[in-house]
Amino acid sequence: MFYKTIPLEKGSKKLINAWASYDWANSVYSLVISSAIFPIYYGSLFSEIKTISFFGSPIKYTAMISFVTAFAFIVISVITPLLSGIADYMGDKKKFMKFFVYLGSMSCFGLYWFELNTIYLGLTFYFFALIGFWSSLTFYNSYLPDIAYPEQQNRASARGYSMGYIGSVILLLFNLSMVMKPEFYGIQGSKAEASMMAMKYSFVSVGIWWAAFSQISFFYLPKGNHNNKITKDVFWNGFKELKIVLEQLIDNIRLKRFLLAFFIYSMSLQTVLLIATYFGEAEIQWSDSTEKTIGLIVAILLIQIVAIFGAILTARASERFGNLPVLVVINIIWAILCIRAFYIHTPLEFYLIAGFVGMVMGGLQSLSRSTYSRFIPSTKDTASFFSFYSVTEKVAIIIGMILFGTIDQITGSMRNSILFFAVFFIAGVILLLRVPKLQD
């Protein structure tokens, strides 16, 4: 796309909305692919065959998706610090953000060919979609201190998540109508075959939505802070930028302690969010496949709708009580939910848990991002600082997904994994209490 970026003043409502619109664009991936349609499609593929042969060894299908996800995050955690440092040096982090947006959106198109007889090709597209989504977020998040002043960042972050929840629900409702009434859209075949085809079209719709609405952010977000030319040393300058950030982290007690706490509770948070639908598909006692499909999507919709209000309420609560106390309370609620989830079996119990998850899901993510943004020192090289935030989150996911997959594979039940992760939320509470309070 060739166009001239329109400069907007930092803190302006238009610039903040343009930044937040990327949440509207990308959240359809996290909802339709990560949380709703794809897990149902994946589970349907393995309705009879429960294992995948990997170099001659049978791997439980739910454990396999956990391991593939973990491997994707290993790659993400390696490349994002390097690319963030290079982006700051070149002063053009938008270019990197675009690359990963288009990588992710095109990979969603590729999921159309996800079948049992092309399982490794399908998992490859799933792998690159993950890389595109999470890597683009590193550069997107790094814009927060560039587009909003400290006193605006809690609400700006919450606005982004809220817009993401609304946009993704709109597309999911459209996708749900295709899955439930495929004949209305001219999709032929038996009920089961037509619904599966509708799910494939849903993956394509995510790619279109993600790439199209990202253009709003690309049009208005500033290009960067420097105008350094590309030289043979640019690769090594990326490492130099990271070294400078690391030195500042060592001397910043507040930021260092917060990152440790964030790492521990993110290990549980992101893992639970990534496997929630797989849990509902495998562990809840649905009467038939139709009830399962409808029930899982309804639960995901419930989570998204409630999360809109959860993110807003969390931002307001943080303004009154402070960021850290609110983060402590949310982590306690998450620990309770994990313990309760171990005992649920019926759809009604699943819906109730989903409602509570929605209330605290967006709040914890949104407030963690804005708290970190307010803790980092004043700098133009925000991408490098947010790459550390991103890597902390990604390494936590890697460990979390490997632990989850291992426990699931050994015990044969996802319930034991969910219960295990309550411990990390409790540890997160303890570590947050050690972080010096933020002076608002």
pTM: predicted TM-score of the whole model, two decimal places: 0.75
**CB 18 within 8 Å of CB 259:** no
**Dihedral of the alpha carbons of 338, 341, 342, 347, in degrees to the nearest 10:** -170
* pLDDT for the residue numbered 9: 77
**CB 225 within 8 Å of CB 380:** yes
3-class secondary structure for the chain?
Answer: CCCCCCCCCCCCHHHHHHHHHHHHHHHHHHHHHHHCHHHHHHHHHCCCCCEEEECCEEEEHHHHHHHHHHHHHHHHHHHHHHHHHHHHHHCCHHHHHHHHHHHHHHHHHHHHHCCHHHHHHHHHHHHHHHHHHHHHHHHHHHCHHHHCCHHHHHHHHHHHHHHHHHHHHHHHHHHHHHHHCHHHHCCCCCHHHHHHHHHHHHHHHHHHHHHHHHHHHHHHCCCCCCCCCCCCCHHHHHHHHHHHHHHHHHHCHHHHHHHHHHHHHHHHHHHHHHHHHHHHHHHCCCCCHHHHHHHHHHHHHHHHHHHHHHHHHHHHHHHHHCHHHHHHHHHHHHHHHHHHHCCCCCHHHHHHHHHHHHHHHHHHHHHHHHHHHHHCCCCCCHHHHHHHHHHHHHHHHHHHHHHHHHHHHHHCCHHHHHHHHHHHHHHHHHHHCCCCCCCC
Domain residue extents for the chain: 13-432
* pLDDT for the residue numbered 207: 96
* pLDDT for the residue numbered 205: 96
Tokens 């999507």 sit at which residue?
297
Phi, psi (degrees; rounded to nearest 5) at 52 = -120, 135
* pLDDT for the residue numbered 315: 81
* pLDDT for the residue numbered 106: 97
Give mean pLDDT in consecutive 10-residue pieces for the chain, a chain of 440 residues: 59 85 91 84 81 77 83 84 68 84 96 90 94 88 79 78 82 89 88 89 96 92 63 61 74 86 87 79 80 82 79 84 90 92 88 86 80 76 70 82 82 81 91 77
> Per CATH, which fold does 13-432 belong to?
Growth Hormone; Chain: A; (1.20.1250)
